[in-house]
Chains A and B, each alone.
Chain A
Amino acid sequence: MSDSSKISCTGVDVFYGGRLSRDEIDRRNAASAEGKRFSEVAALKKTQNVVHAIKDANIDIEDNLVTAFIGPSGCGKSTFLRCLNRMNDTIDGCVVDGNLLLDGQDIYAADIDPVQVRARVGMVFQKPNPFPKSIYDNVAYGPKIHGLARSRADFDEIVESSLTRAGLWDEVKDRLDKPGTGLSGGQQQRLCIARAISTQPEVLLMDEPCSALDPIATETIETLIEELGRKYCIVIVTHSMQQANRVSQRTAYFHLGEIVEYGTTNDIFTNPKDERTNGYISGRFG
């Protein structure tokens, strides 16, 4: 693990469709603290109907950079992204194994609360999902539940600065009390970004944030990602290779649940070392 890496993953496996309940998995996770945490992994690999979604993934994600995950559909990039803030915990039968360190701390350790992890690692989803509340309340909700502000003035300041950084302030400052669901798709997605950065997360995960948007809204959001990337550790999953090329400094290529190649974006796109990466970026498949 190099000094600049924010997230360090070694030997990560993800399975879907296991029979074990979440509580059972948590219990066994806690029971085997060392090494391969989940003792059933070997058994799971052989079990029928269990999908081995991520196979032995190793990656160091660096701070203050934008890292892009690319790869064909179903290759596991979104699954892996959701491991980074333990969002996979909400999916029944999903088992995550291996070491995922955030600032050197194992986020799947027994004494770690996933809620805490998610407060530090924010997320923006593929489809804009503003809460059915006013624009103001959408942004103020995170700071409210984490106790980041007390007075109305503090909240006003957080809402304004978050919306400004998300490039939405000028468009909505006169209608902060209108429902967030009434905005256009691109505005909704920027509202979701404002909501995600309002709690000052250290990492921002973005799962195909532009796939539901038109080119103009996409450009606005890409500019935003570039700006935010100087301050945050951003991980973005995208289907658009041009987008990965434009916004990211590091790129990882996923193929059938494996991280095939990981390096600087420039290297991946101009000088891919693996034949599968080359095939994908030159458009032969995927």
Chain B
Amino acid sequence: MIGSAALAILALVLVAYFSARSRAAALPVLEMHSRPTYHGAFTALWTAIAGYGVLIFGALITAIALQYSLYAALPADAAALAEIERDLIVQDGIAIARGALSSRTGPMREAVAETFSTYSSLRGWLLFIASVGAAVWAGLRCYRKIAPGFRARNRTEQVVSWILISAAGIAILTTLGIVLSLTGQTFRFFGDVGITNFLFGTHWSPLSGVHEGTMDSAKVGAIPLFAGTLLITAIAMVVAVPVGLLAAIYLSDYASPRFRSVAKPLLELLAGIPTVVYGFFAAIVVAPFFKGVGESIGLTVSSESALAAGVVMGIMIIPFISSLSDDVINAVPQSLRDGALGLGATRAETMRNVVLPAALPGIVSAVLLGVSRAIGETMIVVMAAGQAANLTGNPLEAVTTVTVQIVALITGDTEASTAAGPAFSLGFTLFCVTLTFNIIALRLVNKYRERYD
């Protein structure tokens, strides 16, 4: 019923649009404040808002009410059962009512099934009538308002701006929601093991010997993970920033247009390769290569090394930096280049002294984006850098990162509620670190940027 209500409202919206438009079109053109399409759009918008609004809110509220009535329908002796047992009975009842397979049958389940089928068909009809009725009512109200003096354009723009605001609001609220959901678990975990043990401890193996309950506070030191993340990110940026930036400079100011039109899409193709492909490339090709080279010159290289993961991650990030930097370098006005060239500066001097300083804010954002990618990257590290939480600055040894440990915690066979504590804490700390890092970088850019417009 909900599906057919949605379809019916859609049909009503179309009817509202075309009928309102043709009614407005029949009025004298010169006296009209708004064009007929705005009258149509205004009527259609309100029809849709009223119809779908009632449908969505009604569906939510009646779903809760239905659930409540199902539990109320359980016979009195069910109150003695455990909560999980009652949940199971209700689920089975719903399954029976839908004609699906239930785990067991019995009088309690039959009672639930009967209640469910009665109420759910009632609910469907109620929703259909209420939502379609609301759509018709709103559509008719707007339709009757159509008159030469009615400011349909302004009203439509107002509604559209609300829609835009709510879209922006959803994005911001979701972010806030994620952060808040992280904080709860995080502070519970910090309370259990002690925040200093987590932030400053150097030994990480939270799940060794623990399946549920509290962890050993001596084994939850996150320093090795952050050190590993930092090491791999640093290696990746050492590869990606120079290569990406130089490629961008070449593409924007030195390459011929024909070469650029071929090379830029090819470079951007690198960004389209799934990271898991980079990961096994790193593990199967690059890491053994580094090991071989290292051993031939007498170095001990672990078969999973920070160097291999970092280098491959750097290659993955090159297109982000080069493509974005190329765009911002291109956006520097030609007149600035002309000014420098006209002064007798060489192309290199023009680039170094005039174009790059002007493009600096954009280049820094490109690098920041690259750093965020490097910090958040998981697949390459899992495969190529290992899972051992070593505290080391030596890129030839195996290290692990924050994201890899989160994956290990969540996908491991430990109780989810136990593993969630350290996982959420790692996520939250990582979020705080990257946030601080971004704020500092943006402050620096704003301080030193050279505005050209």
Q: Tell me if B272 counts as interface (CB < 8 A to partner A).
A: no
Partner of A87, one of B256, B338, B451, B452: B338
A125 touches B343 (CB 8 A): no
Residue A90 at the B interface, CB < 8 A?
yes
Which of B343, B345, B358, B453 has the most chain A CB atoms closer than 10 A to its own CB?
A: B343
Instruction: Give Cα distance in the complex from A129 to B354, angstroms.
Output: 11
Question: Which single member of B257, B339, B341, B346 contacts A131 (CB below 8 Å)?
Answer: B339
Task: Give the one of B341, B342, B345, B358 with max A CB within 10 A.
Answer: B342
Known: A179-B450, A192-B339. A129 touches B345 (CB 8 A): no
Report the separation of the CA atoms of residues A120 and B344 in the bound assembly, to the nearest whole angstrom: 8
Find B353's partner among A118, A129, A141 (CB 8 Å cutoff). A141
- Shortest CB-to-CB span from A280 to chain B, Å, is 28
- Complex Cα distance, B449 from A133, in Å, reads 10
- Asked whether B333 is an interface residue with its Cβ less than 8 Å from the other chain, the reply is yes
What is the number of residues of chain A that contact chain B, defined by CB distance less than 8 Å?
29
The total number of A-B Cβ pairs within 8 Å is: 81
The yes or no answer to A199 lying at the interface (CB within 8 A) is yes
Please provide the chain B residues from 342 to 359 with a CB less than 8 Å away from any CB of chain A in the complex.
Answer: 342-346, 349, 353-354, 357-358
B452 partner residues in chain A, CB cutoff 8 A = 131-132, 181
Residue numbers in A under 8 Å from B338 (CB-CB): 87, 90, 123, 125, 129
Identity of the chain B residue whose Cβ is nearest the Cβ of A179 in the assembled complex = B451
The reply on B2 being an interface residue by CB < 8 A is no
Indicate which residue in A125, A133, A145, A146 contacts B342 across the interface (CB closer than 8 Å): A125
Whether, in the assembled complex, A92 has its beta carbon less than 8 Å from a beta carbon of chain B, the answer is: yes
The interface residues of chain A lying within 8 Å CB-to-CB of B335 are 125, 127, 129
Closest CB in chain B relative to A159 CB, distance in Å: 14
User: Is A195 located at the chain interface by the 8 A CB criterion?
Assistant: yes
Least CB distance, B235 to chain A, in whole angstroms: 33
- Contact check, B256 vs A118: say whether CB atoms are below 8 A apart: no
Q: B333 contacts A199, CB within 8 Å?
A: no
- Bound together, the chains give a CA A13 to CA B229 distance in angstroms of 61
Is the Cβ of A125 less than 8 Å from the Cβ of B339? yes
Q: Is B337 an interface residue (CB 8 A)?
A: yes
Q: Are A129 and B357 in contact (CB under 8 A)?
A: no
Are A115 and B336 neighbours in the complex by a CB distance under 8 Å? no
**Contact call A123/B357, Cβ cutoff below 8 A:** no
Closest to A24 in B: B256
**A196-B451 in contact given A127-B335, A132-B358 (Cβ < 8 Å):** no
Residues of B with C-beta under 8 A to A195: 339, 343
Cross-chain contact B343 with A142 (CB below 8 angstroms): yes
Assuming the contacts A133-B450, A179-B451, A181-B453, asked whether A199 and B343 have C-beta atoms less than 8 A apart, the reply is yes
- Taking a contact as CB atoms under 8 Å apart, the answer to whether A141 and B343 are in contact is yes
Given A132-B357, A133-B357, A179-B451, is A90 in contact with B344 using a C-beta cutoff of 8 Å?
no
Q: How far is the CA of A115 from the CA of B341 in the complex (A)?
A: 7
Q: Does B193 contact A (CB under 8 A)?
A: no
In the bound complex, do residue B344 and residue A92 qualify as a contact, i.e. CB atoms below 8 Å apart?
Answer: no
Residues of chain A lying within 8 A (CB to CB) of residue B340: 131, 141
Q: Are B354 and A196 in contact (CB under 8 A)?
A: no
Taking CB atoms and an 8 Å cut-off, the chain A residues in 129-156 that contact chain B are 129-133, 141-142, 145-146
CA–CA, A284 and B142, complex, Å: 59
| A184, chain B: closest CB distance, angstroms | 15
Picked from A115, A127, A129, A181, the residue with its CB within 8 Å of the CB of B344 is A115
Q: How far is the CA of A132 from the CA of B333 in the complex (A)?
A: 11
Report Cα–Cα, A220/B226, bound state, in Å: 62
Chain A positions 7 through 25: 1 when the CB is less than 8 Å from some CB of chain B, otherwise 0: 0000000000000010000
A146 in complex: contacting residue of B256, B341, B344, B358, CB < 8 Å: B344
The CA-CA distance from A148 to B123 in the complex, in Å, is 87
User: Which residues in chain A, 78-97, are within 8 Å of chain B measured between CB atoms?
Assistant: 85, 87, 90, 92
Say how far B257's CB is from chain A's closest CB, in angstroms: 6
Inter-chain CA distance A123–B342, complex, in Å, is 6
**Chain A min CB distance to B104 (Å):** 76
Output the nearest chain A residue to B358 by Cβ-Cβ distance. Answer: A132
Return the contact of A118 from the options B342, B354, B357, B453 (Cβ within 8 A).
B342
On chain B, the residues within 8 Å of A282 by CB distance are none
Inter-chain contacts of B354 with A (CB < 8 A): 131-132
Q: Does A257 contact B (CB under 8 A)?
A: no
- The answer to whether residues A118 and B358 also contact, given A127-B335, A133-B450, A181-B452 and a CB cut-off of 8 A, is no
The 8 A CB mask of A95-132 against B (1 = contact, 0 = none) is 00000000000000000000110111011010101111
Q: Shortest distance in angstroms between B38's beta carbon and chain A's nearest beta carbon?
A: 40
Which of B339, B344, B346 gathers most chain A CB within 10 Å?
B344
In the complex with contacts A92-B257, A133-B357, A181-B451, A87-B341 CB distance below 8 A: yes
| B residues less than 8 Å from A133 (CB atoms) | 357, 450
Q: Contact at A145–B344, with CB atoms within 8 Å?
A: yes
Nearest chain-A residue to B338 (Cβ)? A125
Within 8 A of A (CB), among B253-295: 256-257
Q: Decide if B343 touches A196 in the complex (CB within 8 Å).
A: yes
Question: What's the least CB distance linking A185 to chain B, in Å?
Answer: 13
> From residue A100, how far is it (CB to closest CB) to chain B in Å?
16
Q: How far is the CA of A127 from the CA of B342 in the complex (A)?
A: 14
User: What's the Cα separation between A21 and B255 when bound, in Å?
Assistant: 11
- Taking CB atoms, residues of chain A closer than 8 Å to B343 are 118-119, 122-123, 141-142, 145, 195-196, 199
User: What's the least CB distance linking B427 to chain A, in Å?
Assistant: 40
- Whether B450 and A196, one on each chain, are in contact in the complex, defined by CB atoms closer than 8 angstroms, is no
Distance in angstroms from B81 CB to nearest chain A CB is 74
Residue ID in chain B nearest A90 by CB atoms: B341
Known pairs A145-B353, A179-B450, A196-B343 / 10 extra A-B pairs, C-beta < 8 Å: A92-B256, A116-B344, A118-B341, A118-B343, A120-B344, A131-B452, A132-B451, A142-B345, A181-B451, A195-B339
B residues lining the A interface (CB < 8 Å) = 256-257, 333, 335-346, 349, 353-354, 357-358, 450-453
Sampled A-B contacts (26; CB under 8 Å): A21-B256, A85-B342, A87-B338, A87-B342, A90-B341, A115-B345, A115-B346, A118-B342, A118-B343, A119-B344, A120-B344, A123-B338, A123-B342, A125-B335, A125-B338, A129-B335, A131-B358, A132-B336, A132-B354, A132-B358, A142-B343, A145-B346, A179-B450, A181-B451, A196-B342, A199-B343
The 7 A-B residue pairs with the shortest CB-CB distance in the complex, in nearest-first order: A119-B344, A132-B450, A123-B342, A129-B335, A132-B452, A129-B339, A118-B344
